[in-house]
Amino acid sequence: MGLLTQLRNHIGMKPNPISRSTDEMRPRTDGADVTVSVCPYCAVGCSQLVYAKQGRIIDIEGNYDSPINGGTLCPKGAATYGLLHNPHRETTVKYRAPYSDHWEERPLEWAMDRIAERVKQTRDATYEETDENGVPVMRTLGIGHLGGATLDNEENYLIKKLFTGGLGIVAIENQARI
């Protein structure tokens, strides 16, 4: 007996206006594994329910139990599923050489090594222990970092710890404030 028929019987509703096929319909999230998560986009921190079947995410929606969003998501948060499964999403490193007019694909390892080399070179060349008045500053003004709102707490913690305390970078910003 379908859920709708059970409900109809429960409230004593007759005759049954619901077709069998309608009565037997199930949401696509039926039987899925559900994980509580947090929307990756902004500091409101709306709670999400992530549904998965056979290890693959099939849907993401607002968490009804959350005191923050009560089951709702704004249009951006509601499109989180598209962040994960989107045929237009770039999945490889794109590199445009100086003065070049086109992008080239490069391996991730190549890009990571190149970024590390350039950060090291720039920091070595621009690091200041004191400013022009002799005040200790321990900083570099030669590197900036622009993060994204999809970064999570752990990533932001590491960025702050490495870039500020470790490298002395002052200009650390997030796209949400631009």
- What is the radius of gyration, based on Cα positions, of the chain? 25
H helix runs in the chain, sequence order: 3-10, 20-23, 75-78, 80-84, 108-126, 153-159
Pairwise CA distance, residues 128 & 155, whole Å: 26
Closest distance of CB 178 from ligand SF4, Å:
16
Pairwise CA distance, residues 1 & 4, whole Å: 8
Question: Residue 33 has what DSSP assignment?
Answer: E
Tokens of 63: 């968490």
Closest distance of CB 114 from ligand SF4, Å:
32
Q: Does 137 bind ligand SF4 (CB under 6 A)?
A: no
Tokens 């019987």 correspond to 9
Selected binder of ligand SF4 within 18, 42, 83, 167 (CB under 6 A): 42
Q: Does 168 bind ligand SF4 (CB under 6 A)?
A: no
Q: Which is nearer to ligand SF4, 41 or 163 (CB)?
A: 41
Q: Does 41 bind ligand SF4 (CB under 6 A)?
A: yes
- The residues pairing with 93 across neighbouring beta strands, listed in sequence order, are 106
Binding letters toward ligand SF4, positions 73-112, x by CB under 6 A: xx-xx-----------------------------------
Q: Does 44 bind ligand SF4 (CB under 6 A)?
A: yes
Closest distance of CB 31 from ligand SF4, Å:
26
* Residues at the site binding ligand SF4, with contacts judged by CB under 6 A: 39, 41-42, 44-46, 69, 73-74, 76-77
